[in-house]
A and B are shown apart, each in its own frame.
Chain A
Amino acid sequence: MIAALTVAERQRAIAISAALALCGLAMAIAGRDDLFGVHGVIVLLFGLGLIGLVMSQYFAPEPSEERLTRYYDDPTRVGIVLSLGWAVVGMFFGVWVAALLAWPDLTFDAAWASFGRIRPVHTSGVIFGFGGNALIATSFHVLQRTTRARLPDQFSPWFVLIGYNLFCVLAASGYFMGITQSKEYAEPEWYADLWLVIVWVTYFLLYIRTLQRRKEPHIYVANWYYMAFILVVAVLHIVNNLAVPVSFGEAKSYSLFSGVQDAMTQWWYGHNAVAFFLTSGFLGMMYYYLPKRAGRPIFSYRLSIISFWGITFMYMWAGSHHLHYTALPQWVQTLGMTFSVVLLVPSWASAGNALATLNGAWGKVRDDATLRFMMVAAVFYGLSTFEGSFMAIRAVNSLSHYTDWTIGHVHAGALGWVAMITFGSLYALVPWMWKVERMYSPKLIEVHFWLALSGTIIYVFAMWNSGIIQGLMWRTYNDSGTLAYSFIDSVVAMHPYYIARTVGGLLFLLGAIVASYNVWMTIRMSRSQAAAGAGDIDLPVLRGAGATLQAGE
Chain B
Amino acid sequence: MDVDHHSLVGFAKSWGLFYLVAMAIGVLIYALWPSNRKRFDRAKTSIFDKDDRPGD
Contacts and interface: CB of A to CB of B under 8 A. Distances in A.
Interface of A: 68-71, 144-146, 148-150, 215-218, 220-221, 288, 291-292, 295, 297-298, 301-303, 305-306, 309-310, 313, 331, 432
A302 B40 contact: yes
Contact of B39 (A71, A144, A217, A306): A217
Interface string B33-55: 00000011111111111001111
B3 interface: no
A536 to B, nearest CB: 16
A220 B47 contact: yes
What range describes how many residues of B lie at the interface?
A: 20 to 34
Given A69-B53, A144-B54, A216-B43, 11 more contacts: A71-B53, A71-B54, A148-B49, A148-B54, A149-B54, A149-B55, A216-B55, A218-B46, A292-B48, A305-B27, A305-B30
Contact of B43 (A221, A295, A306, A309): A221
B28 interface: yes
A313 B20 contact: yes
Nearest to A316: B20
A289 B23 CA distance: 29
B5 to A, nearest CB: 10
B32 interface: yes
A299 B55 CA distance: 26
Nearest to B56: A215
In the A-B complex, list the 9 residue pairs whose CB atoms are closest, starting with the nearest: A215-B55, A148-B55, A297-B44, A301-B40, A309-B27, A218-B43, A305-B31, A301-B44, A150-B54
A220 B23 contact: no
Contacts of A302: 31-32, 40
Contacts of A146: 46-47
26 contacts: A70-B53, A70-B54, A71-B53, A145-B49, A148-B54, A150-B54, A215-B56, A216-B46, A218-B39, A218-B40, A218-B43, A218-B46, A221-B43, A291-B44, A297-B45, A301-B40, A301-B41, A301-B43, A302-B31, A302-B32, A302-B40, A305-B27, A305-B30, A306-B31, A310-B27, A313-B20
A69 B47 CA distance: 18
Contact of A215 (B24, B42, B54): B54
A279 to B, nearest CB: 18
A218 B42 contact: yes
Interface of B: 13, 20, 23-24, 27-28, 30-32, 39-49, 52-56
A161 B42 CA distance: 32
Given A71-B54, A313-B23, A291 B13 contact: no
A220 B46 contact: yes
A288 B47 contact: yes
Q: Which of B45, B48, B49, B55 has the most CB of A within 10 A?
A: B55
Contacts of B41: 301
A380 B13 CA distance: 34
A216 B48 CA distance: 13
B52 to A, nearest CB: 7
B10 to A, nearest CB: 11
B35 to A, nearest CB: 13
A90 to B, nearest CB: 30
A530 B23 CA distance: 53
A221 B46 CA distance: 12
A315 to B, nearest CB: 13
Contacts of B24: 309-310, 313
A157 B24 CA distance: 35
A297 B41 CA distance: 9
Contacts of B44: 291, 297-298, 301
B23 to A, nearest CB: 6
Contacts of A288: 47
Contact of A220 (B20, B31, B43, B52): B43
B25 to A, nearest CB: 11
A65 to B, nearest CB: 13
A144 B45 CA distance: 16
Nearest to B27: A309
Contacts of B49: 145, 148
A221 B40 CA distance: 10
B20 A145 contact: no
B54 A292 contact: no
A331 B53 CA distance: 53
Nearest to B45: A297
A68 B46 CA distance: 21
Contacts of A310: 24, 27
B46 A69 contact: no
The CB with the most chain B CB atoms within 10 A, among A144, A216, A295, is that of: A216
Contacts of B30: 305
Contacts of A305: 27, 30-31, 40
Contacts of A68: 54
A292 B27 contact: no
Contacts of B27: 305-306, 309-310
Contact of B52 (A71, A301, A306): A71
Contacts of A432: 52
Contacts of A148: 49, 54-55
Nearest to B46: A216
Interface centre among A145, A216, A301, A309 (most CB of B within 10 A): A301
